Structure 1
Amino acid sequence: MSDDARREEAVERAVARLGVEDKVRLLSGQDFWALPALPEIGLASLVMSDGPVGVRGTGWAPDDPSVVLPSPTALAATWDVELARTAGRMLGQECRRKGVHVLLAPTVNLHRSPLGGRHFECYSEDPLLTGEVGAAYVTGVQDQGVGTTVKHFVGNDSETDRMSVDVRIGERALRELYLAPFARITAAGAWGAMAAYNTVNGLTMTEHGPLQNDVLKREWGWDGAIVSDWTAARSTVASALGGLDVVMPAFGDPWGPALLRAVRAGEVPEKVLDDKVRRVLRLAARVGILDGAPGVRPSLPALDGAQVAREIATRSFVLARNERNLLPLDGGELRRVALLGALAADARVLGGGSAQVFPPYVISPRDGLAAALPGASVVYAPGADPRPHLPALACDGLTATLRGSGFRVLHSTPLPVATVRWMGAPPSGVDPDALSTVEITGRLTPPASGVHELSIIGFGQVVLRVAGDVIFEGAVFADDADPETVFHESVERRFPVPLTAGEAVDVSLTLEVRPAVAGFVNVGLGYAPPGPSPDELLDRAVAAARDADVAVVVVGTTEEVESEGFDRTTLALPGRQDELVRRVAAANPRTIVVVNAGSPVLMPWLDEVPAVLLTWFPGQEAGAALADVLLGLAEPGGRLPTTWPRRDEDALSTTPSGGILAYEEGVFVGYRSGTAAAPLFPFGHGLGYTTWSYESIAVETDPAHAGTVVVRLRNTGSRPGREIVQIYLGAAVGTTVDRPDRWLAGFAPVSAAPGHTVEARIPLPPRAFQIWDDGWQAVPGTYRVEAAHSLHDRRLTTELSI
């Protein structure tokens, strides 16, 4: 008997032994992250945790960090499904280490607009690329016997009013674009899915029977479990009948006793309940926590998290511009390097919101280049600081102490920086109901005399003390603010404090923890010593650049720009970073701009600089990977997974009107739009350190596909290299169907030594030739088949008749 059959037998035995009360209990969270155990049927508690670039676990544990991989936009920029599978395996390994059974990832909503606040957490504007990368990631996680929840089903492509917005999507666009990645990934065997906050075409997703029951479960034949996004479920009968299987978390649960009453009253048939229970037990069986059911057992060698993070980063970096072949640099010829920008020292390695996890370390660009260039002087100057908040305080003796009533210590742990942040549970062993305060303490030795700035970052009732004196006592947010909202949009209060150089002072910040917000704690101390004015910072950076062999300017976004909970209002770089780039470029003709952002930004200075490297949010190995690429130890292997617009006006709006966000563009999203506005960089764009000649293209018959495209190409440069061969289809000759000019139909990475040829074989899926018209319909005719380096750099063309 196969393992699948044994699991199904175990599920049926368990269902037969459960009463209605236990069935209902199984479908709701027992706390923030876990479902209840049912020992009478041999079921352990099913534990879930956020991803998608690391594994946070179920509670705040700074002493148990997680490997932090590059952002999903970076992973998609590799266009490498095997590397995506490795990323999944790495995170599955982390889940097993932390006792997590289900990773709440991947996010496969589309890049409809670069203004979307969670753009960095999604893969691409293209459904095929999103689906292929997402399927490989899911397969990798599940190779480790850990479940996934592909999310957010569906239409959660922006954050503004996400709990209430009604996303109006035409049926064709819904099928051809937004549902397509979910179809691909569930067909690949995803064990779970997550229902989104938003409404689609008049029905909130947690109650959307036409999509959850009719499409996902019946039409696609999917046997997994649907969990609500956290607090998304707001009804009992409607959500139970609408296809939802699990409600999370425990607080605010609309099921529980209410669902039990509905079942007993006949409002929710018991057979509907049983289907949910089977799906949850099947998930439990797959992850190995149901007696009598063989879990999926990993038989894989252990992965090195640092190595995986570094490889993904270098493969994801997109060399967007490289005039005069400025890159790669010859490290042996460098004597003085100007490294400029606040993010060069304080690298942004991941996005804000539920995607945040705690890395064991971060290699900044400053650290990475200094280590890689021991014979050169790496001169750092911040130049322009885009951070609206002061950086977190780092000082001697930083400690977090959690106390109960009567100042009783419940938990104490050292801190690398003065930040305490958790969503869900406090550290293991701490009863949330017993928690009264969180206190951050440390001893600050001022580096200079003068007025220093301390800040409170976060939300809640707090007391700030310096040298025993109360500097502030009160609230840093409105008492009636929704805790989940302020968790993602925490505020800052700054306080000037006169201090003397070398005279250490004790600092402390005490947060009062109220039961209503015990699951959402986000508080920290920021600090800045006296320093130069913004104009002086710019002048010093320019002076450093003028005297250097090369200037590397690191610019990017901040957590206040790219995060869950809100959308962007502009694609412009925050602060005076554009001015910094322009002034440095004018001072040094060998200026390289490194863009540390998870999604597109505007570049009004693009024509003024010879080299631009896009590094996304590059994970914990950020600086090491950057040094590898800048010095030519690794080739920047990335290609853009989404179009980078030239102006804000070229981005689709994410702002609802009257509670409705209408996708009036239909299927013409991103590169498919055919807009006359020339992008800053087109879909698929990315340069390397060698050159390629595309020599031939042919389409071979293939009984399993619509055909296989065979492309032969040669590395015509002087270095080994890697190319992403992209295949685009053009509309059939003579057709009257309104379709984009071209669309991605397949891709494959290839590698070759200088002068060598290599062949890419890329199957064409039948779906690439179909449209949705009350069902999938093939559009007959003769199609262009184009082999390309990018959307705007198409090298060879042939035809295929369908």
Structure 2
Amino acid sequence: MSETTLTLDEMASLTAGASMWSTAAIPHAGIPSLAMADGPMGVAGPRVDERDVSLLTPAPVALGASWDRELVQRVGRLVGGEAIRRKVDLMLAPNLNLARSPLAGRAFEYFSEDPLLCGRLGGAWIQGCQSVGTGAVAKHLVCNDSETARDSMNAVVDERTLREVYLAPFEMAAQAGCAGMLTAYNKVNGAWCAEAGKIVRDVAKGEWIFDGVFMSDWFGTHSTVPSLNGGLDLEMPGPARFLGAKSAGAVVEGQVDLERVRDAAERVARTARRFGRDKGAPLPAAEASGLLVEAAAAGFTLVRNDDAILPLDPARYPRIAVLGPNASAPCFQGGTFAKIAVRPDALLPLDALRARFGDAIVVYEPGVDPQPKLPRMPARPARDVDGCTRGMTLDYFDNPDCAGSPLLSETRDTNSLTWFHGVHAAGALQQAAATRASGVVTATADGPHRFYIGGTGALRLVVDGVEVFRRDDQLAPGDVMGRLKSGDADCVTVDLRAGQVVTVVAELRYSPARCQGLWYGVRGPDSNDAMMARAVAAARAADAVVLVVGETSDASVESKDRVDTRLPAEQVELIERVCAANPDTVVVTNVGHAFDTRWECQAKAVLHCWYPGEEFGRALAQVLAGDREPGGRMPVTIACDDADYPALSLQPDANGDLPYSEGTRVGYRGLAARGIAPRQAFGAGFGYTTFALDGVAVAANGQDGWTVTVDVRNTGTRAGAEVVQVYRAVPELTLVGFEKVQLAAGETRMVRIAIERRRLQTWQDGWMDLPGSVELFVGRSSPDLSLAVQVNTN
């Protein structure tokens, strides 16, 4: 049935979600409802719940480091299959914003600082996801490249920069046929993105001729008439606040043309029919696990390997110490609302290294606290309600005094609880109510134990029958999300004896709000000085050290940018002291963005692993042992000094404006334009073999562009991968093409890199060819460009 036969009310009903995670259906017209889930690192469940386990892929920045379109397409296909398993039709992914500043809170969720690398990999992910019948909704259109005041700030961007840099990945997503696009929370040049007609209506729908659906980010719609007339098709979530029935009213009142609502309805209906029916199948478990190991290792970026210390050979280094907090408490992913519940048996790096290297791993010391902000609560339930033996007993009450019998009780093995509307079976959180967490903790040492509690309402903490903390003030509804995002906790100290068993009770009393949270933990008396001393002593006694440092998942979070680029001070001290104690130290970093690495010259090797997903452990063990090579190249630039970054501060000015004053010179482009050498260059990195590039040539391939060819030879003794990169130098250094190639030892292959005409154009009130003869540079990274060739654009 055609949408031309639908009534106005039926068409209008399609312009708003039916629920938090679904679209409206019109069964008699053959229009099914679509179930959605957040991404992009996997399929996030509708509940924030550690039991709602799903496959966790490497973060986009780690996939960006792979520079491998075919691999990223297979990862997209894995996520699409996982969505089918979880009965999800549309994934809110990939994220095509750019790592404009290293301070961006969600930089780990961006493929790169470069629009071509981001767009090409994003397009590959989309094609993979959609190949099994799961739709991909690219986000966040546009300039949601930071988190500070993201729901109010106004990105001020000139037209050339907007077209060539920030819209470019979305245009590539449109070319890949994505199901739709999610508009950002922020404004661009004064217009809310959900109302930005110049972007949605004129560019995406008009110039790109994109026929997918444009939906608002959750609660990101601000109006009826401006949103519809600007090109928005779908308000999310439902029930409607601005569209839906109000769309029909706007037509009746003559404020919106009937054809605009029909267009919106057709786009939603077309998407529903395309992705609401025929489905493929999820990957078999063993194949999925193997792909996750492969993908993690492909993004591991080796930037230093003095004396060829890697791969580690136990015959050369018979006593290996594993040190650092992230070996036992890795950061698999960042802290967004799309956080994936990881399977509880995911292999830790420490355990994987022990399994691979056996008796060569002689000791492990964390050196610093693995959970510096909020430690776990190693408890057993206060009572048995569901057979679980680990975690805290959760009781949900329909009153703020924890009075009477709870509506629901369950066991939760986590120290951080978040609930949105109607998340748990006790019902929606629309009245004053309370939650109590209770468990039994056994002290492991004599001395002061620090107990932590935080939450979105009034709080009470009881240890061994004694109330040790109480806060009775309630938050205003508008402040709840801010408290939830901050994760701040209060701390009290209680002296305990080793072996002492105490009951811990944490209570949250809350007023109605869109979301709620409760978090808690306990830290034993072990001092940082003692942990550091044990790690340094272990390093001194070993033949080699694997030092795994990095972040916890609350270091990179949605809705909050970072304040600096540094690792925690105690981790920097750990690196310096361990490297001084043992020069044969391999520093493995578990960080999801560009960060300060001025300590790197003290280490024998440095391996960036980013946020590598659930198979971090296996991938790391295989790469360090040489079973796989580290396949990554830098997807972002690491500057020598923070002042070198073209964009750093993400704080809007007093008017709420965030000027993109660096223009098109983002990341490596800006450093090159100013003649500043980076510490770790965009595109840099190497594996366990060597390559030579020679014989560059270029030929036109019709009206659409050119093909650059280059002979690549593996000059080493083992197989490996190289990434051939092509740049133009004017108006600024710009990546225009790349290709990853796998070669056997001694093998030579002619590699072909397609260069689209658009890559040699700039925006000047329209797309204009760069004039005359344009020099292209070919090499291994943005500063390492040893070959050149001329292209005539006329």
Shorter-chain TM-score tier: over 0.9
2:543 counterpart of 1:555: no
Give the match for residue 650 of structure 2. 654
Work out whether residues 388 and 560 of structure 1, in 8 Å CA contact, stay in contact via their aligned partners in 2.
Answer: no
The one-letter code matched in structure 2 to 1:339 is: V
2:620 to 626, 630, 641: 626
Q: 2:125 and 2:473 mapped to 1: Cα distance?
A: 40
Which shifted more, 310-319 or 448-457? 448-457
**Pairwise CA RMSD:** 2.2
The one-letter code matched in structure 2 to 1:403 is: Y
Cα distance 1:351–1:253, how it changes in 2: closer, same or farther (>3 A)? same
2:777 counterpart of 1:777: no
Which shifted more, 394-403 or 582-591? 394-403
Work out whether residues 597 and 617 of structure 1, in 8 Å CA contact, stay in contact via their aligned partners in 2.
Answer: yes
1:586-638 per-position Cα deviation (integer Å, ceiling 9, x unaligned): 11010111111100110221222121110001111112111111111110000
Q: 1:726 and 1:552 mapped to 2: Cα distance?
A: 31
Give the match for residue 114 of structure 1. 102
Alignment of 1:636-715 (within 5 A): 636-651=630-645, 652=647, 653-658=649-654, 659-673=656-670, 674-703=673-702, 705-715=704-714
Give ranges in structure 2 of 5+ residues lacking alignment.
Answer: 381-388
2:337 counterpart of 1:351: no
Work out whether residues 431 and 512 of structure 2, in 8 Å CA contact, stay in contact via their aligned partners in 1.
Answer: no
Shift of 1:434: 8.1
Give the match for residue 308 of structure 1. 291
SS of equivalent to 1:375: helix
Shift of 1:755: 1.5
Which shifted more, 422-431 or 213-222? 422-431
Q: 2:703 and 2:644 mapped to 1: Cα distance?
A: 40
The one-letter code matched in structure 1 to 2:144 is: N
Q: 2:637 and 2:433 mapped to 1: Cα distance?
A: 49
Work out whether residues 90 and 135 of structure 2, in 8 Å CA contact, stay in contact via their aligned partners in 1.
Answer: yes
Q: 1:428 and 1:82 mapped to 2: Cα distance?
A: 42
1:464 to 461, 467, 490: 461
Q: 2:454 and 2:348 mapped to 1: Cα distance?
A: 23
2:228 to 240, 248, 252: 240
2:356 counterpart of 1:372: yes
SS of equivalent to 1:390: coil
Q: 1:561 and 1:286 mapped to 2: Cα distance?
A: 39
Work out whether residues 404 and 434 of structure 1, in 8 Å CA contact, stay in contact via their aligned partners in 2.
Answer: no
1:739-772 per-position Cα deviation (integer Å, ceiling 9, x unaligned): 00x3211111111221121221111111111111
Give the match for residue 68 of structure 2. 80
The one-letter code matched in structure 1 to 2:375 is: P
Shift of 1:305: 3.0
Cα distance 1:583–1:634, how it changes in 2: closer, same or farther (>3 A)? same
Q: 2:465 and 2:44 mapped to 1: Cα distance?
A: 35
SS of equivalent to 1:331: coil
Give the match for residue 311 of structure 2. 328
Work out whether residues 572 and 601 of structure 1, in 8 Å CA contact, stay in contact via their aligned partners in 2.
Answer: yes
SS of equivalent to 2:788: strand
Shift of 1:359: 0.8
Work out whether residues 247 and 261 of structure 2, in 8 Å CA contact, stay in contact via their aligned partners in 1.
Answer: no
Q: 1:525 and 1:36 mapped to 2: Cα distance?
A: 39
How many residue pairs are counted as aligned between the two chains? 773
Cα distance 1:470–1:181, how it changes in 2: closer, same or farther (>3 A)? same
Give the match for residue 28 of structure 1. 16
Shift of 1:419: 2.8
TM-score if structure 2 supplies the norm length?
Answer: 0.93
The one-letter code matched in structure 2 to 1:336 is: R
Shift of 1:548: 0.9
Shift of 1:332: 4.5
2:712 counterpart of 1:716: no
2:383 counterpart of 1:401: no
Shift of 1:16: 4.2
Q: 2:511 and 2:275 mapped to 1: Cα distance?
A: 35
Shift of 1:267: 1.4
Cα distance 1:84–1:410, how it changes in 2: closer, same or farther (>3 A)? farther
Give the match for residue 494 of structure 1. 491
SS of equivalent to 1:794: coil
2:265 counterpart of 1:266: no
SS of equivalent to 2:78: helix
Alignment of 1:161-310 (within 5 A): 161-250=149-238, 253-288=241-276, 295-298=277-280, 302=284, 304-310=287-293
Work out whether residues 727 and 785 of structure 1, in 8 Å CA contact, stay in contact via their aligned partners in 2.
Answer: yes
Which shifted more, 553-562 or 687-696? 553-562
Q: 2:257 and 2:788 mapped to 1: Cα distance?
A: 57
The one-letter code matched in structure 1 to 2:650 is: T
1:602 to 596, 617, 636: 596
Shift of 1:299: 6.4
The one-letter code matched in structure 2 to 1:620 is: E
Q: 1:332 and 1:422 mapped to 2: Cα distance?
A: 52
Q: 2:189 and 2:362 mapped to 1: Cα distance?
A: 55
Q: 1:408 and 1:253 mapped to 2: Cα distance?
A: 36
Q: 1:782 and 1:441 mapped to 2: Cα distance?
A: 72
Work out whether residues 353 and 488 of structure 1, in 8 Å CA contact, stay in contact via their aligned partners in 2.
Answer: no
1:225-261 per-position Cα deviation (integer Å, ceiling 9, x unaligned): 1111112112221112111111122378233454443
Q: 2:465 and 2:289 mapped to 1: Cα distance?
A: 42
Shift of 1:714: 1.3
The one-letter code matched in structure 2 to 1:19 is: T
Shift of 1:501: 2.0
Q: 1:413 and 1:696 mapped to 2: Cα distance?
A: 67
Work out whether residues 58 and 611 of structure 2, in 8 Å CA contact, stay in contact via their aligned partners in 1.
Answer: yes
2:429 counterpart of 1:443: no
Give the match for residue 527 of structure 1. 522
SS of equivalent to 1:515: coil
2:127 counterpart of 1:139: yes
Work out whether residues 386 and 575 of structure 1, in 8 Å CA contact, stay in contact via their aligned partners in 2.
Answer: no
2:507 to 507, 510, 514: 510
Cα distance 1:461–1:228, how it changes in 2: closer, same or farther (>3 A)? same
Work out whether residues 694 and 713 of structure 1, in 8 Å CA contact, stay in contact via their aligned partners in 2.
Answer: yes
Work out whether residues 710 and 761 of structure 1, in 8 Å CA contact, stay in contact via their aligned partners in 2.
Answer: yes
Shift of 1:522: 2.8
Shift of 1:387: 4.6
Work out whether residues 719 and 743 of structure 2, in 8 Å CA contact, stay in contact via their aligned partners in 1.
Answer: yes
Q: 1:245 and 1:187 mapped to 2: Cα distance?
A: 19
Q: 2:314 and 2:473 mapped to 1: Cα distance?
A: 49
Q: 2:83 and 2:424 mapped to 1: Cα distance?
A: 17
Cα distance 1:394–1:560, how it changes in 2: closer, same or farther (>3 A)? same
Cα distance 1:423–1:782, how it changes in 2: closer, same or farther (>3 A)? farther
The one-letter code matched in structure 2 to 1:700 is: A
Identity of aligned residues (%): 38
SS of equivalent to 1:350: coil
The one-letter code matched in structure 2 to 1:530 is: P
Q: 1:83 and 1:195 mapped to 2: Cα distance?
A: 27
Cα distance 1:423–1:593, how it changes in 2: closer, same or farther (>3 A)? farther
Give the match for residue 743 of structure 1. 734
Q: 1:625 and 1:551 mapped to 2: Cα distance?
A: 18
Q: 1:367 and 1:475 mapped to 2: Cα distance?
A: 44
Give ranges in structure 1 of 5+ residues lacking alignment.
Answer: 1-9, 289-294, 732-738
SS of equivalent to 1:527: strand
Give the match for residue 566 of structure 1. 560
Q: 1:634 and 1:229 mapped to 2: Cα distance?
A: 40
